[in-house]
Amino acid sequence: MEDNISKIKDKLDIVDVISGYLKLAKSGINYKARCPFHNEKTPSFFISPERQIWHCFGCAKGGDMFEFIQEIEGVEFREALQTLAQRAGVKLEYSSDLPRDDKTVLYEICETAARFFEKQLYQSNVGKRALEYLKDRGLNEETMKEFRLGFAPSEWESLAVFLRDCGYKEDKIIDAGLAIKRDGANGIYDRFRSRIIFPISDLNGQVIGFTGRVFGGDEKEAKYINTPQTAIYDKSRILYGLNKAKTEIRREDKCIMVEGNMDALMSYQAGVKNVVATSGTALTPSHLRIIQRYTPNLGFCFDTDQAGAMATRRGIGLALADGLNVKVVEIGDKECKDPADYVRKYGSSWLDIVSKAKPVIEFYFDKAKTGFNPNSAESKKTVIAILAPFVKRLTSQVERSHWITQLAFFLRAKEDAIEADINAAKDDLEIYNNQNQPAPKVEIVTASSPSDILSETLLSLIMKNPDLFKNELKNISSDWLDEYTAEAIAKLMEIDPNNLGEFLKEFREKDQSYKLEFAYLRSQELWKDFEDEDLKLQFAGLIKKTEERYLKNKLENIELDMKATNEKDKKMTLVAEANKILSRLGEVQKI
Ligand SMILES: [Zn+2]
């Protein structure tokens, strides 16, 4: 494995790899770009060709080219390795006696379980009943086989026993999310029992989890259950069906998003294959990021009930905040509550319905026209509240005035009154603007920034000119720093600054992290134009923040100790200690 990685790194340059995804600008010996992992206006994402690493000063992400591919493509290391090997023209060599890592075992368990469930659907008695039920819902066997539907028997341990017989340990079966440990007793039992099983795959088509729909057992149980978060299944990043749909999404330059697994399957079967389902989890900004890799055009078709309407509005808010072009697919038959119902009833005319998806503003306006009485004052307010956020977001003046005219006509009001109302209306979609991790301001650290950034900034200053801080560093107590930073600083003091590159390499190999490299990049970029005097000022400020952080931590600990004790003497001692710290904190903050 190591060998594969170094072969690829020898052949590829990180700048070339990243420039395939981002627009880069030169910044001294480095390159910069707007970070693709958090929203920002000015670039704080840097690439060092010298060190072959990237790092964002804003969201603190970073790593080598493999980590970049993993992050931007949302894939596991193995797929990043394949992607880059292909680019580099390196043939991957695997040695067979390599110990299997934990994730590999989990993939194997999920695959074995998927086969077990599939077999049950076609061979067991209850399974066959489930199969009939699915056919009755409109699914054909071809689709079921393509998506590997299965059935989990009602016994408490049938899968667990099977997997154990295949040689998997109980704790691994639990880690894969397939079994639960018995309370206060030995052994495990199956998570999925008496359920129709929908395997969930990653982008490579490897099974990583399951959704189970109750069937034939206790109907009081939750209708749907899912694999919990595991080392290979992150529900906030997985969209059901995407592995099958991704090619079609690119080709059509459009993605249709539905709520349930059955909706996705029925849509696929009816010929709309660019479809994914959120499948039991709320839509997240990560989901949308993943879709954006394939297309900027998204069509929602959620259930027609009230919950579906709310989920749609929320999805639209998130998608608009992420800059996607959003449309809504309207089912339009009151007897069909979701796409699955529609396809079952009308078959391939689903294609027409999807092609007639409406821009959100049109969708809500049409709804208003049929759902509200334009003569009631209350309705007028509601209609404006629903539509204003969309009208406000229109950048084209022509479109804007078109909709204002339409609204004025419908509500029988003057256009300028409508416009004033729109401008004054509350924007209920605004709350979604910040859900994609608000961009931390990139500047010299504040006291509230995460510890890591504080340490990174401190190290970056020292690297800029170690000699400059030799004396100051004597005044720093090692208690103020985490072990890593303290060790790194001690080492930095010993080395010849000309050998920094070699030192960084050794340090990375030893502790397997990029922390020092990141600090070095920060040092090159952030302190580029600083004179020694300015550096000293920055350093003093940083040390103050470091001590402040240390004192505040200590106070918190004392508070916890106070809560934990009833002894009067001990309490007094703690109070005295706290007072000392408080007075020191006061001094520090005055500096
Ligand atoms: Zn970032």
CATH code matching the domain that covers 242-356, chosen among 3.50.30.50, 3.40.50.970, 3.40.50.720, 3.40.1360.10: 3.40.1360.10
Structure tokens at 154: 């009602």
Class in CATH terms, 2-88: alpha beta
CA angle centred on 382, ends 379 and 385, rounded to 5° = 150
Tell me the CA–centroid distance for residue 40 and ligand 1, in Å. Answer: 8
Q: What pLDDT sits at residue 445?
A: 37
Q: CB–CB of 412/379 below 8 Å?
A: no
Dist. CA 259–CA 304, nearest whole Å: 11
The CATH homologous superfamily to which domain 102-226 belongs is: DNA primase, catalytic core, N-terminal domain (3.90.980.10)
Cβ neighbours of residue 265 under 8 Å, at least 6 residues apart? 139, 143, 147, 241, 340
* pLDDT tens sequence across 568-580: 888 899 999 999 9
Tell me the CA–centroid distance for residue 338 and ligand 1, in Å. Answer: 38
Number of helices (H), then strands (E), in the chain: 26, 16
Dist. CA 212–CA 222, nearest whole Å: 10
Tell me the CA–centroid distance for residue 576 and ligand 1, in Å. Answer: 43
- Share in percent of the chain as helix, strand, coil (round to 5): 55, 10, 35
Cβ-based burial of 512 (10 A; exposed 0-12, middle 13-18, buried ≥19): exposed
Q: What is the pTM of this model?
A: 0.61
Strand partners, 256: 275, 299
* pLDDT tens sequence across 446-483: 333 466 788 888 999 998 888 888 888 877 887 888 88
Cβ neighbours of residue 568 under 8 Å, at least 6 residues apart? none
Tell me the CA–centroid distance for residue 283 and ligand 1, in Å. Answer: 22
Tell me the CA–centroid distance for residue 524 and ligand 1, in Å. Answer: 18
CA 506 centroid distance within chain: 32
Cβ-based burial of 127 (10 A; exposed 0-12, middle 13-18, buried ≥19): buried
C-alpha dihedral sign at 439, 441, 446, 451: positive
Dist. CA 21–CA 396, nearest whole Å: 29
Tell me the CA–centroid distance for residue 439 and ligand 1, in Å. Answer: 8
Tell me the CA–centroid distance for residue 86 and ligand 1, in Å. Answer: 27
E strand or H helix at 105? helix 102-123
> How many angstroms separate the Cα of 104 from the Cα of each of 6, 77, 207?
22, 12, 11
Antiparallel, parallel or unpaired: β 53-56 and 25-27:
unpaired
Q: CB–CB of 333/345 below 8 Å?
A: yes
Tell me the CA–centroid distance for residue 39 and ligand 1, in Å. Answer: 7
Tell me the CA–centroid distance for residue 501 and ligand 1, in Å. Answer: 25
Tell me the CA–centroid distance for residue 285 and ligand 1, in Å. Answer: 15
Give me the residues near ligand 1 (ion), CB cutoff below 5 Å.
35, 37-38, 56, 58-59
Structure tokens at 461: 């200053």
Structure tokens at 222: 């939750």
Choose among 43, 35, 83, 79: nearest CA to 61: 35
Walk along the chain (591 residues) and give the pLDDT tens digit of each residue.
668 888 999 999 999 999 888 889 999 999 999 888 877 778 999 999 999 999 999 888 899 999 999 888 777 788 888 889 888 988 877 654 445 677 889 999 999 999 999 999 999 999 999 999 999 999 999 999 999 999 999 999 999 999 999 999 999 999 999 999 998 888 999 999 999 999 999 887 889 999 999 998 776 788 899 999 998 998 888 999 998 998 788 788 899 999 999 999 999 999 999 999 998 788 888 899 888 878 889 999 998 888 888 889 889 988 888 888 999 999 989 899 999 999 999 999 999 999 999 999 999 999 888 888 888 888 888 999 999 999 988 878 888 899 999 999 999 999 999 999 999 988 888 877 765 544 333 333 333 346 678 888 899 999 888 888 888 887 788 788 888 888 888 888 888 877 888 888 887 777 667 888 899 999 989 888 888 889 998 998 888 888 888 899 888 888 888 888 888 888 899 999 999 999 999 988 886
Amino acid at residue number 399:
E
Tell me the CA–centroid distance for residue 60 and ligand 1, in Å. Answer: 6
Cβ neighbours of residue 28 under 8 Å, at least 6 residues apart? 524, 525, 528
Tell me the CA–centroid distance for residue 61 and ligand 1, in Å. Answer: 6
Q: CB–CB of 444/522 below 8 Å?
A: no
